[in-house]
Chain A
Amino acid sequence: MNARYSRSGSVRPSGGGWEVAIWYLMRLTGLGLFVTALAHYIIVHFLYDPKDQTAQWILDERWGNIAWRTADWLMLSFVVFHAFMGLRTVVGDYTNGRLRTALTMLLYLGAFVVFAMGTIAVATLNVPVRP
């Protein structure tokens, strides 16, 4: 058995298919989040102060530009996949049988709801529809 191992991540599944794709996507979205999520935290908490970031401020300063909305939506896509697939690994480690299936299905449902809510927010937050 010469399975590849790592000290603290998950071992890459052997063979091919869905689980291997998820294993690679976890690393790919992780790298994506290293850039987007850390940049997001530094912008929102270091360059600016949360106390100023009212809904109007978001509209004027951050989402007044379609490029920032696109970048934030990309970050949302990365984080929904990475966070919920990560939780799926945790659930898989501590549960089994029908409980594991039920919780995993609940996670997929939760991922869909969070992705939908985030997409609605980033796509529709007061798109200027003025007469």
Chain B
Amino acid sequence: MLLRYRGSEGMLAWAFHRISGVAIWAFILLHVFDIWLASVNPALYDELLAVYASPGGRVVESLLGAALLYHALNGLRIIIMDFWPSMTRYHKQLWYMSWVLFVVIGLPILIQIMAPAVGLEPPFRFGS
């Protein structure tokens, strides 16, 4: 089903939703495990944290954020079409709109996360 291309934005929106969903599911397994580790073996958790905060870890973190943001925005698009079926006529426009929001919201977060990986200070500073 995933590989049988049926064309256009609707199919791509669906395929990306499924791929990002499975990826997030896999991360949730890891994430609940690492938080569980923080409670049973804090020292080992802190070692794992160093891996997460490494340059490679930050790339994976950004990819996770991208999957999460896409899945969230396209999920909203699905809910809109499920509960207001007349909106289904505009499913392409809704998809393009979700990509605009994806870039607008995602870009500052990407810069903030990746700055330390290339030796820069995170550009946005919040208190403490």
Interface residues on A, range: 35 or more
Interface residues on B, range: 35 or more
B99 in contact (CB, < 8 A):
no
- Give the contacting residue for B17; candidates A8, A45, A121, A125; CB below 8 A: A8
A98 in contact (CB, < 8 A):
no
CA of A79 to CA of B33, assembled, Å: 14
Minimal beta-carbon separation of B59 from chain A (angstroms): 13
Minimal beta-carbon separation of A96 from chain B (angstroms): 13
- Give the contacting residue for A9; candidates B36, B53, B81, B109; CB below 8 A: B81
User: With A45-B109, A50-B53, A54-B49 known to touch, is A7 a contact of B28 (CB < 8 Å)?
Assistant: no
B126 in contact (CB, < 8 A):
yes
Q: Is the interface of A mostly helix, strand, loop or mixed?
A: helix
Minimal beta-carbon separation of B81 from chain A (angstroms): 5
Q: Which of B97-126 contact A (CB under 8 A)?
A: 108-109, 112-113, 116, 122, 124, 126
Residues in A with CB closer than 8 Å to B28 are 79-80, 83, 114
How many CB-defined contacts (below 8 Å) exist between A and B? 128
CA of A91 to CA of B65, assembled, Å: 24
A8-B81, A54-B46, A83-B25 given; 12 more Cβ-contact pairs under 8 Å = A6-B78, A6-B85, A34-B76, A41-B65, A41-B68, A55-B46, A87-B21, A94-B1, A110-B29, A114-B29, A117-B32, A120-B39
Measuring CB to CB, which residues of chain B are less than 8 angstroms from any residue of chain A? 1, 10, 13-14, 17-18, 21-22, 24-25, 28-29, 32-33, 35-36, 38-39, 42-43, 45-46, 49-50, 52-53, 57, 61, 65, 68-69, 72, 74-79, 81-83, 85, 88, 91, 108-109, 112-113, 116, 122, 124, 126
